[in-house]
Structure 1
Amino acid sequence: MHAEIATVWADSGCAGPLVAWAEDRLNVIFKTIRRLSNPPGCIVLSRRWVVKRSLSWIMRARRHCRNHERLPQVNE
């Protein structure tokens, strides 16, 4: 892992055993962005845009997240 990564921002879907594993094995601070239970109207969540932007970058370069080739030789 990159030594310069010290803090990982994640969506609330990443909560659970992944947080403890990341903090223990990767020596990073894992911060989860959570929603309020009953928000009064529209509330901007801090750092949520960073998580969504990063996920959209991964999905934009679909080769990083999808592998549609059927033969392993084509994938290399």
Structure 2
Amino acid sequence: MVDTLGLLLGVMVTSADVGDRTAAQVLPDQVTAAHHRLALVWADGGYTGSLVEYCLTALALVLAIVKRSDHAKGFVVLPKRWIVERLFAHLMRSRRLLRDVERRTASAQAMIYWSMPLLMSRRLARTGPRRG
């Protein structure tokens, strides 16, 4: 989970045999415990179903699903989806995350948390107007 600036709020790495939809109930619990003012979360179309009702009833959190239009053809930029995709691109700058070499999900998760200060410090060190 990231905020609207693309900074990491929480991460959960699972093994390949665990589906995203089944594991998705754990992460909102962790993030809302740490960030009490969180009220709205945008999610990909893959997280539809019982997760929407669970977030609303158990966490008082509105989960808005960002879906691709049925009439769109080709590549379409989805609103708010680019924020997460940009974070993935920044994370892939870390050599350790470029390849899946971790044996444990906990160490892969730690590497993601470890690479975030690099992104944050680059943003803080930026001076002057942004170049395209």
The bucket for the TM-score relative to the shorter chain is 0.5 to 0.7
Q: Tell me if 1:29 matches 2:62.
A: yes
Shift in alpha-carbon separation, 1:19–1:51, aligned structure 2, 3 A: farther
Amino acid in the other structure paired with 2:106? N
Task: Give a deviation string over 1:19-58, Cα, whole Å, max 9, x none.
Answer: 100110000111110001131443321111134346x378
User: Gaps spanning 5+ residues in structure 2: where?
Assistant: 1-32, 108-132
Amino acid in the other structure paired with 1:3? H
Alignment partner of 2:82 out of 49, 54, 57 = 49
Counterpart in 2 of 1:9? 42
- What is the CA–CA distance in structure 2 between the aligned matches of 1:3 and 1:67, rounded to whole Å? 25
Report % sequence identity.
30
Root-mean-square deviation (Å): 3.1
- CA drift of 1:6 comes to 0.7
Partner secondary structure for residue 67 of structure 1: helix
Shift in alpha-carbon separation, 1:49–1:20, aligned structure 2, 3 A: same
Amino acid in the other structure paired with 1:19? V
Counterpart in 2 of 1:67? 106
Shift in alpha-carbon separation, 1:22–1:53, aligned structure 2, 3 A: farther
- What is the CA–CA distance in structure 1 between the aligned matches of 2:85 and 2:59, rounded to whole Å? 22
User: Gaps spanning 5+ residues in structure 1: where?
Assistant: 69-76
Partner secondary structure for residue 49 of structure 1: helix
Alignment TM-score, normalising by the size of structure 1? 0.64
